[in-house]
Structure 1
């Protein structure tokens, strides 16, 4: 990778980290959701600054080329993120259902109380 490409990618990643910090500071993104993005960004910065690490890692894991390793790790991370988000949506859906039922019961009780007066 050329020095220009490394610098450009580093600037993009650092800009992303700064933007992520702004979102957290303005309470538009929870820290627990941003932690994974911060870790991933830092790992990417390390790989950009020290590209030999990727070659060593691919040899240790027995992967034919560095590109295949990057695509495989990206694919696994994408699947993990999709599963995690699906789980989060499922939990939120259950909570919304319980809240809706609780509100309906409260409204029904209020109607009965108003009708008995």
Structure 2
């Protein structure tokens, strides 16, 4: 990989990392949602600095070319993000259900107390 390309990719990774940190500090993103993206940026930096690792991993996994390995890793990363988002949505759905039930109980108590 050429020095110019490495430099551009490292700057790109740094900008993504800084953007993530800024959004966490501004409370636009929760840290728990950001961790998988930070891991992805770290992995990208490792592959940029040590491109031989990707070739070695490609041979170990039995993938035909490093480009296919990148697509495979991207697919795995997308599945990880989808799983995490599904987990968080499920948790929030349970919280919404609990809050709705609590609200309904309080509303019922208020109506019963008001009519007595």
Q: Report deviation, 1:84.
A: 2.0
Match of 1:61 in 2: 61
Pairs aligned (count): 116
RMSD across aligned positions (CA): 1.3
Distance across 2 between alignment mates of 1:31 and 1:87? 15
- What residue in structure 1 maps to residue 108 of structure 2? 108
Could you tell me which runs of 5 or more consecutive residues in structure 1 were left unpaired when the two chains were aligned.
none
- For residues 51-105 of structure 1, the C-alpha deviation after alignment (integer angstroms, 9 at most, x for no partner) is 1111111112221110111111111121221122122212211210110111111
Contact 2:36 2:81 in 1 (8 A): no
Relative to the length of structure 2, the TM-score reads: 0.91
Cα distance in 1 between the residues matched to 2:36 and 2:86: 16
- Partner SS for 1:72: helix
Match of 2:78 in 1: 78
Residue 15 of structure 1 corresponds to 15
Structure 2 unaligned regions, length at least 5: none
Task: Measure how far apart 1:22 and its partner are.
Answer: 0.8
Runs of 4+ aligned residues of structure 1 deviating over 2 Å after TM superposition are: none
